[in-house]
Structure 1
Amino acid sequence: MTTIVLPADLKRWAVEYLAGRLGRLGHDVDIGTKNPKTMPYPLARPLITVDELTPTKYDLVQWDQELAVNIRAGTRQNDRECDDLARLIAALLTDPTISQAAASPITSVEACSGPYPIADTADVAHSYLTVEYHCMGEMRETE
């Protein structure tokens, strides 16, 4: 048998982590890894989508992995809710103790870009940020 090391399922872990942290802080949000097929505006509550950019092997058991987070809330003219939520999410995802969270694959926070505003065709405020981590890979036995 051989052991291979896959990149961690970081985006799904991050969705659960953010949903829990934001919920405990009193934020009622829709969060997932995909945008809904249709989005009625104005949004009933903020929409957060988490995706992952291409991982890179760092060493024998770690990967450089980067999250891409889109935050939509409020309107283009009333963007305060979106801005505040985006800054909070950036803080939560770059907190050094994230590596100690339950089932965290993260070994270190490496970089964060954003949040910054994105032009959206819909009447909704839209912010975007990326966060880069070193992550422990998922060990898997093969034949």
Structure 2
Amino acid sequence: MTLVIPPDMELWACTYLRGQLKDVAGLKVSNREPDGYDGSYPLVTVRDDGGSQSDRLVFDRQMGVNVRMGPRSRPKPCRDLAARVYGLLTDPAIVLQSDCPVAAITWDGCNGPYPVSEDSDIARYYLIAEYSTIGVINQ
């Protein structure tokens, strides 16, 4: 039996963003926020929010991305990094990247970045990128 499974979008997005954002000092990119994160370094967290399977090999995937860094009273650096992350995740050229599961960007599913209000004193922006992706054939 040949199985087709959804691609690991969190792994792909974290690897891709790490490679594209090497110039951001102290940046950490992960699929979860570390315990005790205090905003002293830039942090991008990626979450695969899932989606439907539209064909045997095609999975619709929505990615939620948080960008956090610095104090809430000075959000501009965080906002600028979030805008850059959004630009990278919605660049049509990503489909040409090696090992990229993205077949197409679903433009009307992309949104942000926008500020998130929370109790902590860390600036945070949130964005969404949506894709049609190619599943992984698992034999």
Q: Distance in 2 between matches of 1:33 and 1:134?
A: 20
Contact 2:50 2:63 in 1 (8 A): no
Greater C-alpha radius of gyration: 1
CA RMSD of aligned residues (A): 0.9
Unaligned 5+ segments in structure 1 are none
Equivalent in the alignment of 1:15: 14
Residue deviations 1:67-94 (CA, integer Å, cap 9, x gap): 1100001211100011100100000000
Matched pairs, number: 136
Offset, 1:95: 0.2
- Name the counterpart of 2:66: 70
Q: Per-residue deviation at 1:108?
A: 0.5
Deviations 1:35-82 (A, max 9, x none): 111113xx2211110011022101121100111100001211100011
Distance, in Å, in 2 between the alignment partners of 1:45 and 1:39 is: 9
- Greater than 2 Å deviation, 4+ residue runs: none
Query: What letter corresponds to residue 137 of structure 2 in structure 1?
Result: M
Specify the alignment match of 1:133 in structure 2: 131
Instruction: Summarize the alignment of residues 20-99 of structure 1 with structure 2, pairs less than 5 Å apart.
Output: 20-23=19-22, 26-28=23-25, 29-40=27-38, 43-99=39-95
Distance across 1 between alignment mates of 2:115 and 2:83: 11
Query: What TM-score does the superposition give when structure 1 sets the normalisation length?
Result: 0.91
The residue type equivalent to 2:77 in the other structure is: E
How far apart, in 1, do the equivalents of 2:114 and 2:40 lie?
A: 22
Q: Deviations over 1:83-136 (max 9, x none)?
A: 100100000000001011120000011131111100121111100011000000
Residue equivalent to 2:114: 116
